Amino acid sequence: MTNNREILEKTKDLPPKERAAAIAHWVYVATAQRYENWDARVPYDWNDLSPEAREFNIASIETWVHSEGVAQAWFNALKEVQEIESRRDDQSV
């Protein structure tokens, strides 16, 4: 499994929709690797996905794009979690 920097480097030249889908796929498989009891059921590498699986992942990006406010609300929630965890880490030092 590639790390954060590697996935960003590997996907930087992809078209935007495919890049977004490949990054989302990476998040899924990286999470599946962290959980012993979860079988990812898909290849770990974006390039190893079937054309149909890549197409589905790209279609999911269309859902995000055309669901007004949802992507921004998701991003805002992620930022809040980062801030909470950062404060917790600061307090534990």
pLDDT, tens digit only, all 93 positions of the chain: 568 899 999 999 999 999 999 999 999 999 998 998 888 889 999 999 999 999 999 999 999 999 999 999 999 999 999 999 999 888 876
Q: How far, in Å, CA of 2 to CA of 10, rounded?
A: 9
pLDDT at 89: 83
Domain ranges within the chain, ordered by starting residue: 4-67
Place of tokens 């600061």: 90
Provide the sign of the torsion angle of the four alpha carbons 26, 30, 35, 36, taken in this order: positive
Global pTM value? 0.84
Residue 15 CB neighbours (<10 A): 9
Q: How far, in Å, CA of 73 to CA of 90, rounded?
A: 26
